[in-house]
C-alpha cells in the first residue's frame, strides 16, 4: 500500500489510524479538505474484508463529503471515519468511547455523525468523550432524525428541475416514480401527494408500499418502476439504479431523488444528457441531512433547518446554469460548482486549523 502516493492523488489532507487493543478498536479517520471549514462526515461500521477496502471506502466517502458540503453552501469541509468490525457482534461502550477520544484529539478538525452500521445509542458513547459529533439525540439538544428534512430538500430539488426542464415548477402538475418509500421516500411521497401529484411507488417492504397506497399512490412492481409513464424518477432506495440496463427503459424527463450514488458510472450521466433527460445531481439534492446537522453548531432550530433546505432549489438551479454555461453534463457541473466555491472562498482564508465548537442548548451525560 503506497498511502502517500494515494493521498497525493486524492488530495487528502490527513489520514489518522486509530487503534486500541483493549477496546478492539481499528478505525480510520480521513480528512479530505478543510478549506471551507471543519471536516464533517459520518462514522461507518462495516466488516471490511481487508484493511485496504476500509481505507478505500473512507478515502472515497470523505472526498464526497467535501463536494457535498461545498455545493450545499456550507462552511464545512469533507471527512469521514470507518470502524473495521461487524456492527451486529463487535459493538461495545469501550469501542465507541475509545474512538470518541480519538475524535476529540482532532481538536475540531473532524466532526462525526451517524452513518451505515451506527445508531443513535452508539453515538451517545462517542458523545460522552467529545463534543465534536452531530446528529445526536434530541434529548441532548441535537437535531434528531434528518429524513423529513432530506425529503423536504429533495422537493426543492424537484421544483428546480421542473422549472429548468418545463418552465413550470408546479409539483402537482407532474407525475413521479418513487423507488423506495422508507424514511425519506415516505416523507417525500407525502409532500408530493399534498401538492396533488400523481405518484407511483415501489418497495421491497409491502407494508411501506401499502402506507403509500393509503395516501393515494399507485403501487408498481420492483422492476416495473423503471418504465412507468411518469415525468420524474425519484430514486430513494439504492445507488447505481441509473445504469446501462435501466436507462433505455426510461420514459422519464427528469431524474431527481435522495438516494446516494444514483449513477452507476459517469457515462450513465452523459447518457441521460444525450437522451435529453435532466439529471439533478444526487449529492446536491440530498444535502438536507447534512444541512440539518450543521445547524447544531449554532444551536439547533427546526425553523432555520427548514429555511436552509430551501437553498437546495438555488444550488440545483445553479448547477443547471453551470452545465448550460460550460456545455457539460449536470453531474460534472456539480463537481465544478464545488471546486469553484472551494477555490474562491479558499482564497479568502487559511485552512481550518481546529477550534473548540460551541453547541448551545446541548448537554452531555449518560443516556
> Which residues of the chain form contacts with ligand NAD (CB under 6 A)?
146-147, 150, 179-185, 202-205, 208, 222, 236-238, 258-260, 286, 289
**Which three-class secondary structure state does DSSP give residue 329?**
coil
- Distance in Å, CB of 153 to ligand NAD, minimum: 9
Q: How far is CA 177 from CA 155, 158, 181, 231, 296, in A?
A: 13, 12, 11, 8, 33
Which of residues 106 and 241 has its CB atom nearest to ligand NAD in the complex? 241
* Complex with ligand NAD: residue 70 or 208, whichever CB lies closer: 208
Q: Which is nearer to ligand NAD, 28 or 293 (CB)?
A: 293
Contact predicate 361/299, CB 8 Å: yes
The catalytic position among 26, 80, 165, 332 is: 80
End-to-end CA distance of the chain: 41
CB of 185 to ligand NAD, least distance (A): 5
In the complex, least distance from residue 260 CB atom to ligand NAD, rounded to whole angstroms: 4
Nearer to ligand NAD, 94 or 215 (CB): 215
Nearer to ligand NAD, 168 or 205 (CB): 205
Cβ–Cβ under 8 Å, residues 111 and 133: yes
Q: Residues 6 or more apart from 132 whose CB is under 8 A from it?
A: 38, 103, 104, 106, 108, 110, 111, 112, 357
CB of 200 to ligand NAD, least distance (A): 12
Residue 255: name the closest of 154, 186, 325, 327 by CA: 154
Least distance in angstroms from the C-beta of 357 to ligand NAD = 22
Return the C-alpha cell found at 321.
Answer: 446554469
Residue 190 CB, shortest distance to ligand NAD, in Å, is: 13
In the annotation, is 306 catalytic? no
Question: Cα–Cα distance between 348 and 299 in angstroms, integer?
Answer: 26
- Which residue sits closest to ligand NAD, CB atoms considered? 182
Closest CA to 242 of 259, 221, 222: 259
Question: Measured from the CB of residue 198, what is the shortest distance to ligand NAD in angstroms?
Answer: 19
CB of 209 to ligand NAD, least distance (A): 9
Between 55 and 151, name the residue whose CB sits nearer to ligand NAD. Answer: 151
- Which residue's CB is nearer to ligand NAD, number 237 or number 323? 237
Tell me whether residue 23 or residue 338 sits nearer to ligand NAD (CB atom): 338
Which residue shows C-alpha cell 434528518? 146
C-beta separation of 356 from 132 below 8 A: no
Contacts of 15 (CB under 8 A, 6+ apart): 3, 7, 28, 29, 30, 31, 55, 58, 59
DSSP assignments along 231-289, one per residue? SEEEE-S-SS-BSTTTGGG---SEE--S-SS-BSSHHHHHHHHHTT-EE--HHHHTTHH
Q: Rounded CA gap, 26 and 77, in Å?
A: 24
Catalytic residues: 80
Amino acid at each position: 500500500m503506497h498511502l502517500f502516493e494515494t493521498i497525493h492523488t486524492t488530495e487528502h489532507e490527513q489520514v489518522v489510524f486509530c487503534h486500541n487493543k483493549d477496546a478492539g478498536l481499528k478505525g480510520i479517520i480521513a480528512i479530505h479538505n478543510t478549506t471551507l471549514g471543519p471536516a464533517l462526515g459520518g462514522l461507518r461500521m462495516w466488516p471490511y474484508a481487508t484493511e485496504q477496502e476500509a481505507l478505500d471506502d473512507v478515502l472515497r466517502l470523505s472526498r464526497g463529503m467535501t463536494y457535498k458540503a461545498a455545493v450545499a453552501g456550507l462552511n464545512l469541509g469533507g471527512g469521514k471515519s470507518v470502524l473495521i468490525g461487524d456492527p451486529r457482534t463487535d459493538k461495545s461502550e469501550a469501542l465507541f468511547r475509545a474512538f470518541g477520544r480519538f475524535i476529540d484529539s482532532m481538536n475540531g478538525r473532524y466532526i462525526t455523525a451517524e452513518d451505515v452500521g451506527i445508531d443513535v445509542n452508539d453515538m451517545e458513547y462517542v458523545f460522552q468523550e467529545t463534543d465534536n459529533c452531530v446528529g445526536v439525540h434530541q434529548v441532548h439538544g441535537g437535531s434528531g432524525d434528518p429524513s423529513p428534512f432530506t425529503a423536504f430538500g429533495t422537493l426543492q430539488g424537484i421544483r428546480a428541475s421542473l422549472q429548468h426542464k418545463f418552465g413550470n415548477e408546479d409539483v402537482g402538475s407532474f407525475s413521479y416514480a418513487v423507488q423506495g418509500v422508507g424514511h425519506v421516500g415516505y416523507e417525500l411521497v407525502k409532500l408530493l401527494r399534498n401538492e396533488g401529484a400523481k405518484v407511483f411507488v415501489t418497495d421491497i417492504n409491502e407494508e411501506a408500499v401499502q402506507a403509500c397506497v393509503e395516501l393515494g399512490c399507485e403501487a408498481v412492481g420492483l422492476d416495473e418502476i423503471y418504465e412507468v409513464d411518469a415525468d420524474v424518477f425519484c430514486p430513494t432506495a439504492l445507488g447505481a439504479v441509473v445504469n446501462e440496463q435501466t436507462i433505455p427503459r426510461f420514459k422519464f424527463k427528469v431524474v431527481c431523488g435522495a438516494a446516494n450514488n444514483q449513477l452507476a458510472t459517469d457515462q450513465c450521466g452523459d447518457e441521460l444528457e444525450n437522451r435529453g433527460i435532466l439529471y439533478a445531481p444526487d449529492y446536491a439534492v440530498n444535502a438536507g441531512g447534512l444541512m440539518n446537522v450543521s445547524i447544531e453548531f449554532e444551536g439547533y432550530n427546526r425553523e432555520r433547518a427548514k429555511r436552509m433546505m430551501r437553498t437546495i432549489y438555488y444550488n440545483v438551479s445553479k448547477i443547471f446554469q453551470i452545465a448550460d454555461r460550460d456545455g457539460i453534463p449536470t453531474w460534472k457541473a456539480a463537481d465544478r460548482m464545488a471546486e469553484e466555491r472551494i477555490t474562491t472562498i479558499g482564497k479568502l482564508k487559511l485552512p481550518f486549523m481546529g477550534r473548540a465548537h460551541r453547541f448551545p442548548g446541548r448537554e452531555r451525560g449518560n443516556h
